[in-house]
Structure 1
Amino acid sequence: MSEDPVEQPAPVVRPEVWETYGPADLSAVPVFAGGFINFGYWHSVDLERPLSQDDRIRSEQDLYRHVLDAVAPDGGRAVEIGCGLGLGCALALDEYGPAAVTGVDIHPQQLRRAREANSPLLAARPQRLRFVLGAAESLPLGDAEFDCLYSVEAVQHFPDLTAFAREAARVLRPGGRVAVAGFFSVDGAPAPEERLAGLLETFASGLDIARPVSRLAQALAEAGFGDVRADSIGPQVWPGWDRWLARLWAPGTWPRNFMAAWEQQILDYYLITAARP
């Protein structure tokens, strides 16, 4: 890599995030087969037949592919914010040909797991892959260090979208692209915070933060990005995710309410993209 991470104090981790991604180790929960920790992009999976673990892992990988297609990291330097186990970093490195990939995560236990999970790749390509401790709102990275920045299903945990957008603009070179995949409340939905907290434990506990997608789009525009788009990919996410959850949870249990929140037009899944002039 071109330079060492910028020295910063250890980031403050919200208690809900600390427990979920540390001691509870969400990556080991069976519903996240393969360890990617995302809901999946199911466009290439036949939902009319019984789902296999291979289908589930493919959906998680395909969500990364959909995001990476939007930033086209071929030959450039890429950074993933909220990298978890780093499996998406490895996929990007293997399939998209970037010069180097940096994975950033706020949780030290996740970074230890990422380094363990990717130890052969780190040993074989030490100049092309690294993992760094840091928060989305205060990245320990150099100015204009990267050609693209992406994040897959971590944005719902970021406390300050404005600070994240400013940091994304700072670490990207002119012409760099950003792509963020995650779930947000639907613009114009009445009382989304209360309704989502009533349906879903992750919102009730504060692990997930309910905000309209326009808030991130506006933050990116205010940070100087152009060509800001927020496209719903809910039809490729929610039905497959609910079919997978049905293997483990009965109708009426709270995890199945993600589908209900989408059907009630409170929550949706988006791909947000932008370019730094």
Structure 2
Amino acid sequence: MTDVKRYYTSLETRLGNWLLFNGRAHLGLYPASTWWPFPIRRALLAMEDHMFQSLKLSPGALVLDAGCGDGQVAIAFAQRGLRVHAIDVLLEQVQRARQNVARVWGEGETTVTVRQDDYHRLETVDEGSLDGIYTIETLVHARDLPAVLKEFRRVLKPGGRVALYEYDHWTQTADTMALEREKVRRYGAIASDSEGASGLARVLADAGFGDVRETDLTLNVRPLLRVLAWICYVPCMIVVALGMEASFINTVAVVVNYRSGWRYLAVTGSKPV
């Protein structure tokens, strides 16, 4: 948890999330032909809508936001009729999410509950109580991916859905930028890929989920990444030359991941009935 806290509380991460995403710390979904990605709010909402639709849940369903950040996605899903139990491992994020929920509904709102919890061992969720679970760019921090997915299966009802929207760092490929990618992994609090080298969809199936489907959204997130890679290229080279990756890992990650053919996936599945 120390690495995750260091990453999310770093000045670079906080400024980037605020300036680019206004707190919605995930990539946007664009038509693949898009060249100019700004302003990005519409694309952020499009990504959230894509994930909402992939859950295939009815109004009133109870879902887990596993890694809620400041709670904006949880709030958006609640406004569309779901009941959301939002968790984050970082107390600072939990407090911020609670403040955002209170701004929308006032104190005492129960449509969105926010708790500090760890998806490796869920202590605020009862077994078999959830209709759905989603993650958006948070599962990359899992220290033990199979254990997390088995925990998700434990707390889902039979037929419950999962929707995992993540960078694909689990599939092993030939890598000519291995050193740079290892620094991105280390300073970006991204867990080792050794447990899931065959891909997230395979690990989800191995954890006992059925109807597992993988959708490649790489071309749809690339418009923003392409522009950011252009902007960050020279700063990235300076950071690497000075050995300052630990302080500016997002700058490095954008360039390294774009150049290495990085993918973005939506993986869904269901707990067997």
- Give the TM-score band, short-chain normalised: 0.7 to 0.9
Which one of 133, 141, 148 corresponds to residue 157 of structure 1? 141
Q: Number of matched residues?
A: 251
Which one of 9, 16, 20 corresponds to residue 22 of structure 1? 9
CA contact (8 A) 1:85 1:110 kept: yes
Matched-pair identity in %: 21
Indicate the SS of the match to 1:126. Answer: coil
| 1:268 corresponds to 2:263 | yes
| TM-score, normalising length: structure 1 | 0.80
Gaps of 5+ in 2: 237-251
Kindly state the Cα deviation for residue 155 of structure 1 after the two structures are TM-superposed. 1.1
| Matches of 1:232 and 1:186, distance apart in 2 | 14
Kindly state the Cα deviation for residue 25 of structure 1 after the two structures are TM-superposed. 7.9
Indicate the SS of the match to 1:214. Answer: coil
| Matches of 2:19 and 2:78, distance apart in 1 | 25
The residue identity in structure 1 corresponding to 2:44 is: E
| 1:126 corresponds to 2:109 | yes
User: In 2 relative to 1, CA 200–66 (structure 1 residues): closer, same or farther, beyond 3 Å?
Assistant: farther
More helix by share: 2
User: In 2 relative to 1, CA 73–22 (structure 1 residues): closer, same or farther, beyond 3 Å?
Assistant: farther
Q: What residue is the counterpart of 1:135 in the other structure?
A: 118
Which one of 79, 85, 95 corresponds to residue 70 of structure 2? 85
User: In 2 relative to 1, CA 47–206 (structure 1 residues): closer, same or farther, beyond 3 Å?
Assistant: closer
CA contact (8 A) 1:81 1:154 kept: yes
| TM-score, normalising length: structure 2 | 0.82
CA contact (8 A) 2:94 2:114 kept: yes
Once the two structures are overlaid, the 10-residue window that deviates more, 134-143 or 204-213, is 204-213
Kindly state the Cα deviation for residue 226 of structure 1 after the two structures are TM-superposed. 0.4
CA contact (8 A) 2:170 2:199 kept: no
| Matches of 2:73 and 2:179, distance apart in 1 | 29
Indicate the SS of the match to 2:177. Answer: helix
| Matches of 1:231 and 1:109, distance apart in 2 | 32
RMSD of the TM alignment (CA)? 2.6
Indicate the SS of the match to 2:263. Answer: strand
| Matches of 2:115 and 2:12, distance apart in 1 | 19
CA-to-aligned-CA distance 1:15-45 (integer Å, 9 cap, x gap): 221112235483442453221111222228x
CA-to-aligned-CA distance 1:127-186 (integer Å, 9 cap, x gap): 211111111111121011110110001111111111111111011111110000111237
Gaps of 5+ in 1: 1-12
Which one of 128, 131, 152 corresponds to residue 168 of structure 1? 152
User: In 2 relative to 1, CA 110–26 (structure 1 residues): closer, same or farther, beyond 3 Å?
Assistant: farther
Once the two structures are overlaid, the 10-residue window that deviates more, 124-133 or 101-110, is 124-133
Indicate the SS of the match to 1:151. Answer: strand
